[in-house]
Structure 1
Amino acid sequence: MSSTDEQLLLDYLNGAPAAFAAIVERHENRLARIAFRIIGCRSEAEDARHAVFVRFLQLCGSQPRQFTRVGAWLTRCTVNEAISRVRKQNREGRVRAEFATLVPAAGISSPLEQVEAEESRERLSIALAELSPDARAILSLRFDEDLTFREIAVLLDRPPSTVKSQLAKAIAQLRDLLGAAN
């Protein structure tokens, strides 16, 4: 039976460094995926994920009560870190649009289907890059992470009705952008 994140955190605080490594291993891929969907650059997403784990390591010793839900805290912190990095890039005028493999290529057999799938991924990447970081975050949490409106609301500290309307707006914007690309 695997330990909960909270139990692993207690084990780490009681002197078991392997427990922290287990928390990292459990969440690192998911957090990198979330950051990548928001930022659009793999190396920047890796940096964001690393910054989140460093912050977690710094805070868990001094404020352990803050981490009653480790996974939720890590997710929320990752979303905030990724959005902050995108805003910084925008201020510096270095917006990147490197969304890759957003449309699964499973079941593609012919070269024509592969080309069409690549074109679809490229159109989607361009359209997603046009959305705000908040919109990309909500889309990623809903569709990549398969979270409910209520779960997203808790992570982003917003009412579920706000999340629902923001998701609908993001989907409408994405449809408009994809329609304009055709």
Structure 2
Amino acid sequence: MVSERKRITLQGELEEMRSLVENAERARKHAESELTEAHSRISELTIQITTISNDKRRLEGDIGVMQADLDDAINAKQAAEDRANRLNTEVLRLADELRQEQENYKHAESLRKQLEIEIREITFEAEQRRGKEAMAGLRKYERQYKELQTQAEDDRRMVLELQDLLDKTQMKMKAYKRQLEESVSSVNHLIDDTFTYSGHFKCM
């Protein structure tokens, strides 16, 4: 009877140990499975982190290039504005000189016409009087007339030259204005791109 009870007791303990071993084996396999999944997840996260780091460096490089382009475009825009302002000042100065030369030309032309009338009158008087004094006066007015005619021609030439210079300067100014508009457009485009890339960069 004692041996039977001992056998039964040992049999129970053996069954209990088997159950414990099976539970331990299941726990080991579960732990191994979780460890494998953890390693797999770590590998995936490592790849994602590497990709994000590479993208971050690439975006930093792109932003650096775009910032340099933006600075160049801003400098070009400022230079175009400065040239346009200088040309505008030059146009105003040339326009003022042109007006002054036109007034001088009109004044000289008026004097020339007045002298023509006086010469005709003196010529008529000289023909009537045939006097030396009248002829001397005629020669005097003829000299003045020629001088004024020469001056009027010089003024007319100056007016034409100033008009040509003004036209050329205005053409240059239009070209610089177009360049300025293109620079402004380029700056705005680069600013938009920079903000877009900066937004992507901040999201990382």
Fold shared by both chains (TM-score > 0.5): no
Identify the structure with the greater helix proportion: 2
TM-score (norm 1): 0.21
TM-score (norm 2): 0.20
Q: Which has the larger radius of gyration?
A: 2
Q: Which has the higher contact order (CA 8 A, sep 6+)?
A: 2
